Structure 1
Amino acid sequence: MIRPLVPALSLTVDRPGVSPAPAQPSLVAVQDTLDATFAKAVGRVGGPGTQAIAMRDGQVFWSANAGKAIDNPATPDTDSTMFAYASFGKLVLGTYTLHLVENGLLALDKPISTYLGNDTPGSNVVTLRMLLAHTAGYNDLYEAPETAPLFEGGDQYDPNKRYTWEMLAPGIHEPISPGTTYEYSNTGFCILARLLSRMSGGDAALENGIKQFLQNAGETGDQLTAQRSQSAYLRFAHGYRTHAGPSNGSLDYFTAYGATGIPTDLYGMPFGDGMFAGTAFGAARFLDALFVGGKLLKPATIMSMTTPTTQALAANDTYGMATYRTEVSQRVWQGHAGAFGGFTSMGGTDRTRGVTLMVVTNREGNASIAEAIWKELAEAYASVTP
């Protein structure tokens, strides 16, 4: 468990002639509440390997681990265990993209053909803003007949063969009514990663550029990364999917298909829809740097990023650009969730209070396990803090 760095809850001082402020809960009381809630929430969803962490204004004030990183051989989940973030990584990639926009290297409303050429369907109409906001209208490449056989369940799935853009491209079709409606799209973020790779000079250059950018959030590559390595594999949890078969009702996503390392579709290029992996601490530190510390983007950019698009609002959603809002106990959290390959994640920041809460798990079911745990923690935190 990561130890709190400093007592992060605010203190109050009584001043003559001023009504005393409401009593603040002690740090220990908040930690005890979160500890109890975490234990119950993890138990309710079957006891997956789980990391959870809470920060305020850049400082950790609570964290917890539970379960196993690997079921067989039994391996405990520790602070350094790595998890795939799945779609939470869209927020990381989107933030880096907007950083390039701020620096004049990309433009939100130019056709992506400006950067990609004309090889990608719809590139003369689709813009960067549409990719970030899920309004581009692309099909799901994971279900396209040209590419579906390459993924889990398909007769060409090979978790040991590296994927390339050239393998994904045949599954991308002409977009439908670009810019008109909101529809969540993994394909759009794969295209975004391809665009960024082309602009950077290749995949390795893009990964290095992201790594340098994340240093502004205190990241060194061991807590949040898009780079695959043997050292990462040695720290990685296995992802498990619940099912009706053996192995305590779960399928080990790593071993079930013969992977000899981290399955090649789990994170990294060319999968801009789920490009990152790391610890709960790495993800929480990123969120805090973005939404509380102001270390990654300018305030005006964050305002545009977090404002729901008209298309999303029309679909009763709150998605802006690579992020959305979640309301719990009348508090608004800005962040993103993810689920893929036996992993789930959920992270958000209460920008009003400067509080960030992140949960990652290595168990995937019909509903997001990380989101269920995260929601209970958010409710518990709200119940004991003003």
Structure 2
Amino acid sequence: MKKLKLLSLSLCLPFIFAGCSDNESEKDYQLELDGAVKNIHSNLQTALNTNVPSLSVYVVSPKGTYFSTVKGTNGTAVTPTTYFRFASNTKNFTSTAILKMMQDGWLNLDDKITQNIPGTTVPYTPDVADWNFPHKNEITIRQILQHNAGIYDLTNDTSQYNIGGETYADHMMETNPDFQFSASDYAKVLKDQNLTYGSPNTVYHYSNTGYTILSEIIARVYSQKINSTKTYGDYMYDKIVGPSAKVPLAIKFPELASDKQLPSPYVKGLIKYTDHEEITDLKNASAHIGEGNGLGTMVTLTTYIRSLFKGENVLYASSAEMMRTKTGVATTNGYGLGCSNFTGIGYGHNGATEGYLSMMAYDPKSDVSVIVLMPFWDLSSNDKFTRCLNTLNTTAIEAKRTLGY
């Protein structure tokens, strides 16, 4: 399946949830939100000259909690508790895991990834030949978080290395849909092909592969600290989202190539090509561990991003502020530690994985969080995909505007 390179990424069913009183003012907010979402969806269908399955937004604010969704003729109903693949929003969770380990004294952000895990004789990354990719000895954990480590992106970029015009990850998925990807697999390709964007802290370049390397670091640190072999998914379940976490959430991070089924109820993703369409709900998520393998609902993402940035989750308020802070060459890109600053919307991330587009953001000043979901890609042209991606921001901004923010 030919993919587009990514650099980062009608029936109206209104609901008013707990927290909204029944006065006329708040009913007007809901009606205006419904109208705005319906208008954005209609304009997008006109611009693309195609049906768009659905567009949904979930807003939590001091004025209440609101949900609005529009279903196209080719779509299915979406609710705030419908599961979907939230793609690169996963990076914010990975950053949270790294910062939690920092708080616990398990790692140091400015350690080189070749240094030993604190209190051990084991390095953060494997000390083997297949992991000797360019500039490895110079790269710090913080630089990977900020996408200024120079690590080449093997899932998005074909500029330096491709197989038949496809990224390494796409080629492997097509030739063997059940291929079990790993950080070691990616590291070997980086080493064998001598791939790099340059020395760390000299260039900003979004890199999914960098975050998969972070997932390996999380697994290795956790394994050392509890003296048992653990994975990235184990740490996320045990410490970040599972029943024992500070804020338990029904969020999953599948790591096995065979674990393709979403929990029910879920919405299917859809990709439109020039000559056909493809349903994309079943997916080998092992290609995106740590950078795009998360799945959850609009409610769980809202709970996560609000509690995180309010200092009510696993991170101290100071750590959450560190996540939002930009340093080095990343200062011109609005990207902190696994965190984007969306002008007029708030802090968080967005995500684009085959057939799914989403965004989660929280604005500390207004105490407003916004989640946007559109399970659709139009790959019939670059411009049309960009229009789809930009719809996330448009919807978030309009949702805040309707509430007076």
TM-score, normalisation: structure 2? 0.76
What displacement does 1:230 show?
7.2
Secondary structure at the residue paired with 1:53? strand
After superposition, the C-alpha distances for 1:36-89 in whole angstroms (9 at most, x for unaligned) are 1111222333333343211136x9610123337x95xx7533443321111111
Alignment RMSD: 3.2
Secondary structure of the structure 2 residue equivalent to 1:225: coil
Distance 1:55 1:371, change over 3 A: farther
- Give distance in 1, aligned partners of 2:329 and 2:25: 43
Aligned residues: 349
8 Å CA contact 1:42, 1:48 repeated in 2: no
Stretches of structure 1 lacking an aligned partner (at least 5 in a row): 10-23, 255-261
Matches within 5 A, 1:82-231: 82-114=83-115, 115-119=124-128, 120=131, 121=133, 122-142=135-155, 143=158, 144-145=161-162, 151-152=169-170, 156-172=174-190, 173=194, 175=196, 176-201=198-223, 205-212=231-238, 213-215=240-242, 216=245, 218-221=247-250, 224-227=251-254
| Aligned position for 1:362 | 375
Partner of 2:53: 48
The whole-number CA distance in structure 2 between the counterparts of 1:101 and 1:289 is 19
Of residues 160-169 and 140-149 in structure 1, the stretch that sits farther from structure 2 once superposed is: 140-149
Aligned-residue offset at 1:168 = 2.4
Q: Residue 292 and residue 41 in structure 1: after superposition, are their counterparts in 2 closer, same or farther (change >3 A)?
A: farther
Change (3 A) 1:131 1:301: same
2:31 aligned residue: 32
Q: Which residue of 2 aligns with 1:263?
A: 283
Q: In the superposition, relative to structure 1, how do residues 78 and 183 fare at CA in structure 2: closer, same or farther (>3 Å)? A: same
Q: Secondary structure at the match of 1:6?
A: coil
Relative to structure 1, the CA distance from residue 293 to residue 64 in structure 2 (aligned partners, 3 Å threshold; closer, same or farther) is farther
Structure 2: which 5+ runs fail to align? 1-13, 46-51, 116-123, 379-384
CA distance in 1, matches of 2:373, 2:246: 19
**1:304 matched to 2:344:** no
Partner of 2:340: 324
Query: CA–CA distance in 2 between the matches of 1:293 and 1:27?
Result: 28
**In structure 2, distance between residues paired with 1:363 and 1:203:** 38
Distance in 1, matches of 2:182 and 2:203, equals: 29
The answer to whether the 8 A contact 2:346-2:363 is kept is yes
Q: What SS does structure 2 have at the residue aligned with 1:134?
A: coil
Q: 1:236 to 1:161 in 2, by over 3 A?
A: farther
Cα distance, 1:195–1:382 mapped onto 2, change above 3 Å? same
Call closer, same or farther: CA 1:203–1:320 in 2, change over 3 Å. farther
Q: Tell me the distance in 2 between the aligned counterparts of 1:369 and 1:333.
A: 20
Q: Give the Cα–Cα distance (whole angstroms) in 2 for the partners of residues 7 and 277 of structure 1.
A: 28
Contact residue 53 and residue 375 of structure 2 kept, 8 A: yes
Q: Does structure 1 residue 241 correspond to structure 2 residue 245?
A: no
